[in-house]
Structure 1
Amino acid sequence: MTLRPLQDRVLIRPVEQEAKSPGGIIIPDSAKEKPVEGEVLAVGPGIRGDDGALHRPELTAGDRVLYGKWSGNEIKLDGEDLVIMRETDILGIVDQAHAEQQAT
């Protein structure tokens, strides 16, 4: 099954955080926070402004994004937990190349 988001909506696969803290403590599922980072799976065509022009989203499938902890709607598609939200609920795009350069 596939889902094609409408307007400025974005379909995201949340990325689970490490099960260990930086100090090596294993974090139980009950203490884990909701994911706030995810991978964009699909993006809608955009939304029409007051002038009638189509404003295309800045995101593309494959982007890694940060979003608010309580943003969007959780859905289950083919047994997988996903989140669908408006593009305006996304806080930013994680630049993987930049993050890898700073890690080295």
Structure 2
Amino acid sequence: MTLRMLNDRIAVLEIKPPTVSEGGIFLGEAPLDGGFVKEGVTGVVLAVGPGARLPSGERDSMWDIEAGQTIRYSPVLAHREEIDGEEVTIIKRDSVFGVQE
């Protein structure tokens, strides 16, 4: 899949947490109903835009986020698309609150 993001958008492949514990207990899934979300989501970055255009004409920083990194982000304003049979989440840079190292 080739995906070129624009402005301050980031394409992420969400890493879904397990729904069954090691002991076989069903854990369920947290519903994403658009309301208050307490927990962040983990995902692998697929593509990163060049940054939003500033009034000066320069590009804003993308905080050194690169394809292949694992990030934590807020799913509140996320947009999901199916691309090449995979569910890809599109977020803005400001939704990212951490990079796993």
**TM-score, reference length from structure 1:** 0.76
SS at structure 2 position matched to 1:54: coil
**TM-score, reference length from structure 2:** 0.78
Runs of 4+ in structure 1 off by over 4 angstroms are none
Greater relative CO, 1 or 2 (CA 8 Å, sep 6+): 2
Task: State the partner residue of 1:32.
Answer: 29
Aligned positions of 1:1-104 closer than 5 A: 1-21=1-21, 24-27=24-27, 31-33=28-30, 36-58=41-63, 59-95=65-101
Q: Residue type matched to 1:12 in 2?
A: V
Q: Could you say which structure has the larger radius of gyration?
A: 1
Deviations along 1:71-104, one digit per CA (max 9) or x if unpaired, are 3101100110110011111121122xxxxxxxxx
Percent of aligned pairs sharing the same letter: 33
| Count of aligned positions | 92
Unaligned runs of 5+ in 1: 96-104
- Greater share of helix residues, 1 or 2? 1
Unaligned runs of 5+ in 2: 33-39
